[in-house]
Amino acid sequence: MPLTFYWYPNCGTCKKAKKWLDEAGVDYQSVHIVEETPSESQLKELIDQSGLPARKFFNTSGKKYRELNMKEKLNDASEQEMIQWLASDGMLIKRPIVTDGEKTTVGFKEERFQEVWSS
């Protein structure tokens, strides 16, 4: 089964991750994270599979994150509130997200991709 690769084509980090997957010969299906933003239930599943807290799924360097003052809001937010915010706007989500339905990675670090996604 191919991986699902949630990305934003203009994102430099996403381009590096895509290049790594292509060069490693990994089979994946691309999903434009803004045009097809994951639903709340999909995000909950991705967060659970990643083993990371929901706050790690926010694109903290993004313009939208700063405009909405998310840094302040996250301090008192429940996981459910965070998931609702993430589902409301794909630009708030850290990317790329790669999943095989069991494991999920967020962002791109070559060593991590090598460890998790090398066949």
Predicted local confidence at residue 64, as pLDDT = 95
What is the overall mean pLDDT for the chain? 96
- Look up the domain containing 53 and give its range: 3-117
Using the predicted structure, report yes or no on whether residue 119 has a pLDDT greater than 80.
no
CB 105 within 8 A of CB 116: yes
pTM over 0.85: yes
What angle (nearest 5°) sits at the alpha carbon of residue 9, between those of residues 7 and 10? 120
Express each pLDDT in 94-104 by its tens digit: 999 999 999 99
What type of residue is 12?
G
CB atoms within 10 A of CB 7: 23
User: CATH code at 54?
Assistant: 3.40.30.10
The CA-atom distances, in angstroms, between 68 and each of 44, 62, 84, 87 are 22, 10, 14, 14
Predicted local confidence at residue 1, as pLDDT = 72
CB 107 within 8 A of CB 14: no
Express each pLDDT in 35-76 by its tens digit: 999 999 999 999 999 999 999 999 999 999 999 999 999 999
Q: Give the total number of structural domains in the chain.
A: 1
Express each pLDDT in 1-36 by its tens digit: 799 999 999 999 999 999 999 999 999 999 999 999
Distance, first Cα to last Cα, the chain: 12
